[in-house]
Amino acid sequence: MKMLATAELSPDMTSQARRVGPPILKVEHLSREFGGVLAIGDLSFTIAAGDIHSIIGPNGAGKTTLFNLVTGVYKPSGGRVLFDGADVSGMAPYRLAARGMSRTFQNLQIFFNMTALENVMVGRHLHLNTRLLPALFRFPSLVRKDREARDRAVQLMTEVGLEKYVDADAASMPYGALKRLEIARALASEPKLLLLDEPAAGLNATESREIDEVIKTVAATGVTIVLVEHDMKMVMGISHRITALNQGRMLAEGTPQEVAANPDVIAAYLGAAP
């Protein structure tokens, strides 16, 4: 299969010199069923700090369910999720955010009732004074920190290439820009672990490459990235490790070359060889 060709792997990914960081996320025997149907079954894997770790698999493999389990949107039926060494299974998303985990969504979850900048500023929530009385009476300290948050949000929007949308209403922005807006908003919370659910879905080739650059830049700042993506060129190009799922179970795990060469993975994508 051409799309998995080794030639498309970037050189720094193929070198063995890269040091593997300590585990930041551990999934142990995780399972989740919906009315008797197993979406995720006995899944265990580890994600090392500093990695770009991709989760791949055919449609219905359980990738988004896995994201929802890890980020607390769903509660697991069994097994554990360990984040930074602590058991966080079924913990509410806002608590996980406070511990340094954030995410984007496959189907956009934008605050369409706000401006683009305000969307990103909501991402600063954990770093601001969110109590009632200082807000009602506009304490000077709150106003000052709010101004800093605004500057930071503008900076983040510039980093993901949205500088021309700073004053735009989110509802007036094109799809590709909204994808980046979600990334900027998640980054505003200063996560240690960022989960990106199909950031390139629905984008054209140019836009995909730009998202690619954004992800690499973010990873270079030390943020661990978990990526669900169907764009194999992107996955093979930027991932340090890949976990392949099929029907809610682990199919293969390893470096991009190992996974690309795995016969089970090829069979799952193209159908079993005769």
Partner 1 sequence: MNALLHGRLTGLLALGAVIAVLPAFLPNNFYLDIAILAGFNAVVCVGLNLLIGYAGQISLGHAGFFGIGAYASGVLVGSYGWPPVLALLAGAVFVGLLAFLVAKPILRLKGHYLAMATLGIGIIVSIVLRTESGLTGGPDGMMVEPFKIFGVELYGEKVWYWVVGVLLVGVVWLSLNLIDSPMGRALRAVHGSEVAAEVVGVDTARFKVLVFVLSAVFASVAGSLFAHYAGLITPAKADFFKSIELVTMVVFGGMASTFGAVVGAVVLTLLPQALTIFQDYQQIVLGGILMATMVFMPKGLLPTLAALFPARRRA
CB of residue 206 to partner 1, shortest distance in Å: 26
Stated as kind and residue range, the H or E segment containing 75 is: none
Q: Give yes or no for residue 199 binding partner 1 (CB under 8 A).
A: no
CB of residue 244 to partner 1, shortest distance in Å: 25
Give the torsion sign (CA, 35, 31, 71, 13). Answer: negative
CB of residue 113 to partner 1, shortest distance in Å: 5
Strands (E), 105-248: 193-197, 224-228, 241-246
Secondary structure of residue 106 in the 3-state scheme: coil
CB of residue 44 to partner 1, shortest distance in Å: 24
Q: Give yes or no for residue 138 binding partner 1 (CB under 8 A).
A: yes
Q: Give yes or no for residue 146 binding partner 1 (CB under 8 A).
A: yes
Phi-psi map region of 178: left, alpha, beta (phi>0 left; psi -120 to 50 alpha) = alpha
Q: Give yes or no for residue 86 binding partner 1 (CB under 8 A).
A: no
Nearest to 176 by CA among 212, 203, 139: 203
Instruction: Select from 12-20, 185-193, 214-222, 237-245 the region that touches partner 1 (CB under 8 A).
Output: 185-193
CB of residue 265 to partner 1, shortest distance in Å: 30
Closer CB to partner 1, 76 or 256, in the complex: 76
Instruction: Select from 67-75, 219-227, 233-241, 265-273 the region that touches partner 1 (CB under 8 A).
Output: 67-75
Long-range contacts (CB closer than 8 Å, 24 or more residues apart) made by 207-216: 207/176, 207/179, 208/233, 208/234, 210/161, 211/179, 211/180, 211/183, 212/237, 212/238, 214/159, 214/160, 214/161, 214/180, 214/183, 215/52, 216/52
Which residues between 95 and 134 bind partner 1 (CB under 8 A)?
Answer: 96-98, 102-103, 105, 109-114, 118, 121-126, 128-132, 134
Q: What would the x/- binding string for partner 1 be over residues 8 to 47, using CB under 8 A?
A: ----------------------------------------
Bridge pairing between strands 23-34 and 193-197: unpaired
Give the CA distances from residue 21 to residues 48, 197, 240, in Å, rounded to whole numbers and listed in that order.
5, 23, 11
**Contacts with partner 1, residue ranges (CB under 8 A):** 71-73, 92-94, 96-98, 102-103, 105, 109-114, 118, 121-126, 128-132, 134-138, 142, 146-147, 149-150, 182, 185-186, 188-189
